[in-house]
Amino acid sequence: MNGVLTDGIKRCKLLFEERLKGHFVKKVGAHLMNIEYQRLEMPEVLNEYQFAVTCIDEKRTTKIVEELEKFCASLSAMLGVMYILRELSGIVIVLLALVVAANALGEGFRMRHIYERHKTETPAQRQLLYARNELAKKEYAKEIRLFGLSDYVTRKVEFYAQKMCDLWKGAAIKSIKTVGWTYILQGIQLSVAYIYLARNVINGAISIGDFTVYSAAVTTFGISSTRLVNGLVSVVDTSKYVQNLRNFLGIPLPRDRENSVPEEPLTIRFEDVSYRYPNREEDAVSHVSLTIKPGVKYAVVGENGAGKTTFIKLLMGFYTPTGGRITVNGIDLSTIDIDRYRERFAAVFQDFHILGFGFDENISMGGDIDAERMRCAIEGMELEDTVAQLPEKEKTCMSTAYSPTGVELSGGQKQKLAIVRALYKNAPYIVLDEPTAALSPQSEFDLYQAFQEISHDKGVVYISHRFASCRLCDEIFVFSKGGIAGHGNHNELMAMNGLYRQLFEQQAELYAERGMGSVCT
C-alpha cells in the first residue's frame, strides 16, 4: 500500500513539473515573439533568452518544491536528534552548530560558483548549440558533401564543446579550492564530538548503549544538517535562476500606441530618415526622404549593402528610425498601433520560410482557408499544375521530415508559393524583397509580369539586384551607400545618365551576351 501511495505521489509530482514547465515554455515563447524585432538582433537579449531556456530545461522552476520537501524531512530529523542530544554538554551543541555553519558556507560558495559558471557559459552554449544543431540540418547537407566539410563541422563542434569543458573545469577547480576547507572543518568538528563521547564512556559518565545512541544521533545530525542547509541554499540559488527567467520576461514589449491605423488608403512618407545598427559607426540608411503612395508600383534598386533591405524593415515597422521620422497619412508611425499597421502589408523576404505543414496552411498561415481566394492566387502564379501533381493536393505537407507523404518543392516553386501566400493575404501593400533569386532572369521577368496583372489595384514595392521589374514600375528609387542616388521612372533615370543607367547598362550587356537581352531592353 505504501509503495502504491509513493508511486502516486511521484506521478503527481512529475505531472506538476511538466505542466509548470509547459507553462513557462509557452510564456517564454510568447514573449519572444512579441519582443521588438530589432531587439532580437542584440546579443544580450539572445543571452537572456538562452539563460531563460536553460532555467526551464534544468527544471529550476520546479526545484524549489523539491528542495522544500527535503527541507521539511531534514528539519524533522534534526528536531528529533536535538531532543536526544539535549542532555549533552554545551560544547557538543556548539560544535554541531558550527557544523551547520560550515555546511552553509561551503554550499553557498559552491552554488555561487555554479551560477557564475552558467552566466559565463551562456554565449559559448549558444555557439555550441548552433554548431551542433544548425549545421546538422538538411539545408547544409549539399555544401557539407560538396566541399568536404564533415571534418570542419566536427572540429567546430569539438571546439565549442571544449570551450564549455574548459569553463566547467575552471569552475570546478575554483569550487574545490573555495569549499574544500569547509568540509575539512566539518570533519574536525564531528571528530571532536565523537572523541568527547568516547572520553565520557571511558570516564564512566555514559554507558556503551548511550554512546551508541549519541554517536548515531551526531551522525544523523550531520547528515540532516547538510541536507537542510543544502536545501535552503539551493532554494536561494534557484531563486537567482528564476530571477533571470523573470529578467527575460521583463524585457519590455512595444508599448501600446495611442493612434489607430487610418481607415483610408495609406500614404507613407520617410522624412529625413536614418537608421544605424547597434555598435556600428555608419548609418545603414542615411537621410532618406520619399513617399510611398497607395496603388503605385515601386522598384528599389542598388548594389549590395546599399540599404535596400534596411529600408524595407523601416517601412514595415520592424526598425525604429534613429533619425528623422516616418509618417502614415501625416501621423507619426511611432504612435500608430504597429500590429494593425502591419496587417496592411504582405511580404516575401529574401530569407522566406516554407513550413513543413500543408501546402494550404503555408498559404493561409493558420487562418481559416478561403478556397476561392486561394485558387485565384495559385492560378495567378501558375502553380495549379504543381498542386495537381502533389500526392494529397493542397493538403500535402511541404517536408518529408514532417510527413511520409510530404514533398520537397524546387527553389522556384517555393518562391512562387511564398508569393501566393502574400497574394492570399490580400493586403493593400505587397513587398517583394528579392524573392526570385532562384529563378532565371527571363523567368523572373515573366513572373513579375504575371504578378503585375493580378496585383493591379495594390501598392507594390519590388527590391531586386536585377532590373526585370523596373520597366513595370511607376517609380524607381536608386539606393547607394544608404542614401537615394536617383528617383524617377525608367526613362527619366536613363536620361539622367547616373548610377541607375550605369547599373542597367552593365546588366543589359551581361544579359545580351547570354542571349537574354529582351529581359532588360
The answer for residues whose C-beta is within 8 angstroms of residue 204's C-beta and 6 or more apart is none
Residue 494: which of 511, 508, 483, 481 has the closest Cα? 508
- Please give the radius of gyration of the chain, using alpha carbons only, rounded to the nearest integer: 34
425 within a domain of the structure (yes/no)? no
Q: How large is the greatest C-alpha to C-alpha distance in the chain, in angstroms?
A: 117
Same domain membership, residue 223 and residue 75: yes
Residue 179, amino acid:
V
Burial 471-492 (b: 16+ CB within 10 A, else e): bbbebbbbbbebbbbbebebee
Look at residues 218, 249, 280 and tell me which one is the last residue of a structural domain.
249
Torsion of CA 422, 428, 434, 439, to 10 degrees: 50
Q: Which residue has the cell 500614404?
A: 267
Residue 84: which of 183, 209, 229 has the closest Cα? 209
Task: Find the CATH number of the domain harbouring 92.
Answer: 1.20.1560.10
List own/partner pairs for 467-472 with CB under 8 A and 24 or more apart. 467/299, 467/301, 467/503, 467/504, 467/507, 467/508, 467/520, 468/441, 468/444, 468/519, 468/520, 469/299, 469/432, 469/444, 469/445, 470/299, 470/301, 470/504, 472/297, 472/299, 472/448
Q: What is the DSSP letter of 207?
A: -
Same domain membership, residue 362 and residue 349: no
pLDDT in tens, the chain (521 residues): 545 555 666 666 677 667 777 777 788 778 877 777 777 777 777 777 777 777 777 666 666 666 666 767 777 776 766 666 666 666 666 666 666 666 666 666 666 666 666 666 666 666 666 666 666 666 666 566 655 666 766 777 777 777 777 766 766 666 666 556 566 666 666 676 777 777 777 777 777 777 777 677 777 776 677 677 666 666 666 776 777 777 777 777 777 777 888 888 899 999 999 999 887 888 899 999 999 999 899 989 888 888 888 999 999 888 999 999 999 999 999 889 888 898 898 888 877 888 778 888 888 877 678 888 888 888 888 888 888 888 888 888 877 766 777 888 887 788 888 888 888 888 899 898 876 665 666 667 777 777 777 777 889 898 877 776 777 788 999 998 889 988 998 888 888 888 888 888 877 666 555 554 545 54
3-class SS of residue 220: helix
1 within a domain of the structure (yes/no)? no
Helix%, strand%, coil% for the chain, nearest 5: 65, 10, 25
Cβ neighbours of 443 (radius 10 Å)? 16
Q: What is the DSSP letter of 335?
A: G
Same domain membership, residue 331 and residue 319: yes
Residue 482: which of 271, 298, 276 has the closest Cα? 276
d(CA 68, CA 74): 10
424 within a domain of the structure (yes/no)? no
Threshold 0.75, pTM exceeds: no
465 within a domain of the structure (yes/no)? yes
What's 135-151 look like in SS3? HHCHHHHHHHHHCCCHH
Same domain membership, residue 364 and residue 308: no
Same domain membership, residue 107 and residue 218: yes
Number of domains in the chain: 3
Same domain membership, residue 278 and residue 240: no
Q: Which residue has the cell 520597366?
A: 471
Same domain membership, residue 349 and residue 359: no
Same domain membership, residue 438 and residue 395: no
* Predicted local confidence at residue 105, as pLDDT: 66
CA angle 170, 174, 178 (to 5 degrees): 170
For the residues of 336-395, what is the DSSP string, one character each?
A: B-HHHHHTTEEEE-TT----SSBHHHHHHTTS---HHHHHHHHHHTT-HHHHHTSTTGGG
Q: Which residue has the cell 492566387?
A: 377
Mean of per-residue pLDDT scores for the chain: 76
For the residues of 404-420, what is the DSSP string, one character each?
A: TT-----HHHHHHHHHH
The answer for residues whose C-beta is within 8 angstroms of residue 517's C-beta and 6 or more apart is 508, 511
446 within a domain of the structure (yes/no)? yes
* Predicted local confidence at residue 273, as pLDDT: 94
The three cell numbers locating residue 313: 524593415
20 within a domain of the structure (yes/no)? yes
User: 274 near 322, Cβ under 8 Å?
Assistant: yes
471 within a domain of the structure (yes/no)? yes
Residue 384, amino acid:
E
d(CA 390, CA 379): 15
User: 248 near 52, Cβ under 8 Å?
Assistant: yes
Same domain membership, residue 242 and residue 224: yes
* Predicted local confidence at residue 290, as pLDDT: 92
The three cell numbers locating residue 246: 523573470
The three cell numbers locating residue 425: 493575404
Taken in order 95, 96, 99, 100, the sign of the CA dihedral is: negative
User: 295 near 265, Cβ under 8 Å?
Assistant: yes
Task: Find the CATH number of the domain harbouring 298.
Answer: 3.40.50.300
Q: Name the residue range of residue 362's domain.
A: 355-408
Same domain membership, residue 388 and residue 311: no
Residue 450: which of 379, 363, 381 has the closest Cα? 381
pLDDT tens digit string along 274-318? 999 887 888 899 999 999 999 899 989 888 888 888 999 999 888
Torsion of CA 481, 484, 488, 494, to 10 degrees: -30
Residue 400, amino acid:
T
Residues in the chain: 521
7 within a domain of the structure (yes/no)? no
Same domain membership, residue 196 and residue 212: yes
Same domain membership, residue 104 and residue 38: yes
* Predicted local confidence at residue 505, as pLDDT: 80
